[in-house]
Structure 1
């Protein structure tokens, strides 16, 4: 049972990733290469006399793929238009740069991106985020099962993570450790794409709107706002899959998998049943993600004060990403634990007839209390701390493999 489910989910995951990579990365990338090639060809065929009549700012705005030609052309233009420069002086890139009027404001990195570049870049961010979130949540499914059981039934599951794992295997078999794997992999694949892709997009746009200097002075506000909005979009997509996962874990025999669980909830409770946990999931995930990105960015910033990023090896960068992610995961777990407990309880069973979602939330929070809301926090620290560390390490490596460069870093 366990092997069959794992193979099925793995096949779906690989096929979906391959399709997403083909559509979102390879096609836009190939299109951009064609456009750059055509631009380069036109530049080579252009009349040299045109270069002498071009404004310096037009030279600056050329595409990066023909930057060498542009700088050489600009040098010729500068020599002709400035009599004080000796014609016998050898042209240089430094001389070309010095002739650019100082009062002209250089375009920001975000503003200089074309629509085609935007699509290719943020598609790669989204794909990297989708893969890293789906992968890290999927491999930690057994720990997530124990964490959920402790939250919904703390009296029965009171022997910690390792004891909980043995207890599940003893009573339900090893196959029970894969319960909820389908909704976990699919839900977090979609959520990760919106979370990481949206964060990078919103952060870059905020920097472009405010200006780099202003953004540097308000970088934590940008981190918080960008991560909150990106996570909110991801939560709307994730919520139905999380509802199914919790039902499958907390009610053994509820369904055979993702499709069966979705169909049963819709049949018995309607679409509303899939979103009964939207409030708690937003209360959990948004503060969690905000804390994650702020702490991660700060930890990364502090790390690179001690080491020069340009001299660090690829393995060293992965290690720094992982260490920063571990610190961020621990902080985010403590912030979001109460909402996570309420989410597990509200999705354990459907509410009473006529009972609204907000009334259920208030009742559960009142009955649980502060101490009860931190039930299962040790299991979640192990799970979320390790998962976040691995998540940022995988995300950084996938971005590098996909060539997802061009975003703006606030320093």
Structure 2
């Protein structure tokens, strides 16, 4: 699913960090055509390898962290209430999920940071490729900018987890309850929604959650580019200096001052467009691999 929507993901990042003094991409369609014309097919998938490589450790840490956080929160909840048979409420599960998301994101953040730079870098006569791949990028950033550089933009990423996960959960549950009560177009049966309907609810919830937390994602990407001396013209602009940010608040302030509030939503269109196909492809692939491996567990489990 990541690979299928990789061109939209790259387009989103390029729009997020694009310098207003050197506009190359005026929109999603024009931007994709420009990449195809200037960089070819491979250009559409730049940074996707690092993005896919990040999935395994991120998922492993996330599941392990969720189990540990759930156990710890449940123990504290039982101690506080004095009820040894108490179970986690939806709100407490939300808290455990947020903890797991933050821990997993933090553990793999350097991979996300260099993925952003690999995605953005462009080869020109004056600016050859600086990073040859994920490991080369990690080593280069560490040697040239220090360990802390690998975590630039970490704070807005952590803060963004709260509204994203919270809204995701709240919208999904509310939408699901409304559909079960009204049951329009016979979308449910026996007080349970069809799988496709639940996927649709997830897509809507994900889109709303991402939209609200999106400005934090823009700031994260921009902070990741700070200190990159050999950044291509997409970041600095021809003959222009890239803006330097002293922190998250400073990045917000300068972005709004020089580009307006709308700059906080650059790249939102390709980001929203990729939600539905990404979820659909993930589901179809899951079902196919499930049959190949002979796994009995269903999505609803």
| 1:178 aligned residue | 45
> Contact 2:4–2:278 at 8 Å: present in 1 too?
no
Per-residue CA deviation, residues 308-364 of structure 1 (Å, 9 max, x unaligned), is 35887xxx42x1232121111111111210011001111123279xxxx98332221
**Preserved CA contact (<8 Å) 1:321 1:392:** no
> Are residue 254 (structure 1) and residue 130 (structure 2) matched?
yes
| Contact in 2 for aligned 1:224/1:294 (Cα 8 Å) | no
Equivalent position to 1:231, from 90, 95, 101: 101
CA contact (8 A) 2:172 2:201 kept: yes
Report deviation, 1:212: 11
The offset of 1:158, in angstroms, is 4.0
Does 1:336 pair with 2:217?
no
Question: Residue 359 of structure 1: SS of its match in structure 2?
Answer: coil
Superposed CA offset, 1:96-143 (max 9, x none): xxxxxxxxxxxxxxxxxxxxxxxxxxxxxxxxxxxxxxxx33332211
Structure 1: segments with no counterpart, 5+ residues: 1-135
Q: 1:366 to 1:255 in 2, by over 3 A?
A: same
Structure 2 unaligned spans of 5+: 123-128, 230-243
Per the alignment, residue 232 of structure 2 pairs with none
Q: Deviations over 1:249-307 (max 9, x none)?
A: 22222312112211211121122221122112222344323332343344344445542
Displacement of 1:244 in angstroms is 0.7
**8 A contact 2:5–2:277 mirrored in 1:** no
TM normalised by structure 2 equals 0.72
Q: Which has the bigger relative contact order, CA under 8 A and spacing at least 6?
A: 2
Matched, 1:363 2:250: yes
Q: CA RMSD in A?
A: 3.6
Change (3 A) 1:262 1:214: same
Aligned to 2:271: 380
For residue 321 of structure 1, the aligned residue among 183, 193, 198 is 198
For the 8 Å contact 1:137–1:185, the answer to whether it is kept is: yes
The normalised TM-score by structure 1 is 0.55
Post-superposition offset of 1:390: 5.1
Could you say which residue in structure 2 is the equivalent of 1:44? none
Q: Is the 8 A contact 1:179 1:248 kept in 2?
A: yes
Q: Would the alpha carbon gap of residues 145 and 311 (structure 1) be closer, same or farther in structure 2, given more than 3 Å must change?
A: closer
- 1:234 Cα deviation (Å)? 1.0
Q: In the alignment, which residue of structure 1 is the partner of 2:166?
A: 290
Higher fraction of helix? 1
Tell me if the contact between 2:226 and 2:245 (Cα under 8 Å) persists in the aligned partners.
no
Which one is further off, 384-393 or 251-260? 384-393
Distance 1:399 1:335 in 2: 34
Question: 2:158 and 2:48 mapped to 1: Cα distance?
Answer: 22
Report SS of the residue matched to 1:138. Answer: coil
State the partner residue of 2:239.
none
Give the Cα separation in 2 of the matches to 1:385 and 1:200. 28
Q: How many residues align?
A: 263
Give the direction of change, closer, same or farther, for the CA distance of 1:248–1:201 in structure 2 (3 Å limit). Answer: same
